[in-house]
Structure 1
């Protein structure tokens, strides 16, 4: 990915559904060039826009971080099987004592128990699972930004944010719209209308309402390896309970921090970071211990391969090669035939 590619991705991180004319002007190119660039990035699987429930939906559903231990020699096979599950939003192959790190979302705690106990845990070659419930999401990856745009470009692209309250459940009539946006977050109103069977005016109204706050979030993502981010990592942290909220907020300000959750289990915080080199992980760990009093690093796992990220199946370079609809409301056990993965989003 060249410098202009990264600027375009950075712009769509800020404004995922912005018209090409509004993206083109700060980048100093014409809208047709922007459109062609995005088509090339999207068709090659180097970048995409997706949509999924935001962190404020955690109280109305369930998010869990599940570590999976596999029989030796079966890790990639198990990872591919898990990646076919709609409820396994992201699947990472990790270093350390656990082989897989799986981000799971379900409609309820009971559905989570069914998924882990009756589907994930019963896969051949799965030896053990360890589940940590995410009790609060402090940061999710749609907030993470490249640093490819200068200050003037960021100001030009900054949009107003609706102040409506997102702390309500996504209504059932919006589930189909959310699934369609998960396939392509820049899908036109015409196509959204065709997919959902709703009038364009209805789609526009529901889309505006859905994206008005953190009920659902749009995210421009990209092949991290092609952009120089070689090593994701998972850090399990423990901080004194009275310091949990303040510490988590400070962790979210770290440039490497992609996601941060408060969790149950031996660690009460989980931090997911993107790094340029293995040595970068040492620097982050040293920074945490020096600048966060009371914080302890209980465990660190380097991500050796990202198999799936928020519904997208990735190759070894992080390119999107398929997509599994994130139908979090379907039963996680009934009808276990996996979704047919589609091509790059």
Structure 2
């Protein structure tokens, strides 16, 4: 299935305000409501587009880690799928010839962190090496979607779509009773208030009020998942970067401004920066590494690990067996 400029513009619009009505998208994009609805359905079925409500755990001060698990050749896939079923994991991919699993995980308690990092994973016989990098600071990613760097929408169009700023300066910490609402948003971030009411059992006014609090405070943001190759972005890779300590912040900020970088963060561990690189092909990867990244002052070492298979983005569905 082929996608065109209008599809990319709609994707960018979703990233700006994923819960906006189709009529608003249509007005900004200069097409009919029916065209927007039809294109959105096509993107869902043909490019795996899905709007997902995400709790911004770093904003709440919760621990987040990125794990590199070197496995025996026959075990990487099963281990990746097992981790994908956990509610405390998000991005999971296979790299390095299919023997390395890279997994992002967050822990709300020290006990939960230790159970995974010091208990379950080290006891798994087919995992032969574990590297754990703790997230320290996010330079780009999370609420800042990568499609914003595409330029598909003009600055004026983005301004017309951007929702009004929330009235909350500090994050609103989710409560246990918020879980049905959060689960419904993970399933469909564009679900209407009426649909959320049906799924949670709360009144529409209560749902609307809590939704405004969680989203308006930045505790929850709406992320757009999609299949990159469908839009011509056929190669993704993880970058493990060591920068001089005095250049850590400047290199991280530079990465955040690069068109090819979808996520960048400072981490503690064997390296001090990690980033997600998205390119059209291997030639573009080479140009980025040798020219853009290679010329940054303060970069001392770079490891580039192409992603062979993405097992989980923010949500996971078991593969269907024919």
What is the TM-score when the length of structure 1 is the normalising length? 0.83
Structure 1 residue 12: Cα displacement: 0.4
In the other structure, the counterpart of 1:65 is 66
Counterpart among 195, 206, 218 of residue 202 in structure 1: 206
In the other structure, the counterpart of 1:332 is none
User: Which stretch of structure 1 is more off in the superposition, 174-183 or 13-22?
Assistant: 174-183
Structure 1 residue 200: Cα displacement: 0.8
Q: Distance in 2 between matches of 1:342 and 1:52?
A: 22
- Equivalent residues of 2:140, 2:263 under 8 A apart: yes
| Change over 3 Å in CA distance of 1:68–1:184 after alignment to 2 | same
**Equivalent runs, 1:253-292 vs 2, <5 Å:** 253-286=257-290, 287-290=292-295, 292=296
Structure 1 residue 164: Cα displacement: 2.6
Q: Secondary structure at the match of 1:211?
A: helix
Q: Distance in 2 between matches of 1:41 and 1:201?
A: 31
- Equivalent residues of 1:236, 1:270 under 8 A apart: yes
Q: Distance in 2 between matches of 1:42 and 1:207?
A: 24
- Equivalent residues of 1:58, 1:137 under 8 A apart: no
**Equivalent runs, 1:164-243 vs 2, <5 Å:** 164-167=168-171, 169-243=173-247
In the other structure, the counterpart of 1:34 is 36
**Equivalent runs, 1:1-345 vs 2, <5 Å:** 1-44=3-46, 46-54=48-56, 56-57=58-59, 59=61, 61-95=62-96, 99-123=100-124, 125-143=126-144, 144-145=146-147, 146-162=150-166, 164-167=168-171, 169-286=173-290, 287-290=292-295, 292-312=296-316, 322=317, 341=318
Q: Where does structure 1 lack aligned partners over 5 or more consecutive residues?
A: 313-321, 323-340
User: Which stretch of structure 1 is more off in the superposition, 33-42 or 256-265?
Assistant: 33-42
- Equivalent residues of 2:60, 2:219 under 8 A apart: no
Q: Superposition RMSD on alpha carbons, in Å?
A: 2.3
- Equivalent residues of 2:19, 2:190 under 8 A apart: yes
User: Which stretch of structure 1 is more off in the superposition, 20-29 or 239-248?
Assistant: 239-248
- Equivalent residues of 1:56, 1:167 under 8 A apart: no
Q: Distance in 1 between matches of 2:191 and 2:123?
A: 37
Q: Where does structure 2 lack aligned partners over 5 or more consecutive residues?
A: none
Q: Distance in 2 between matches of 1:41 and 1:65?
A: 30
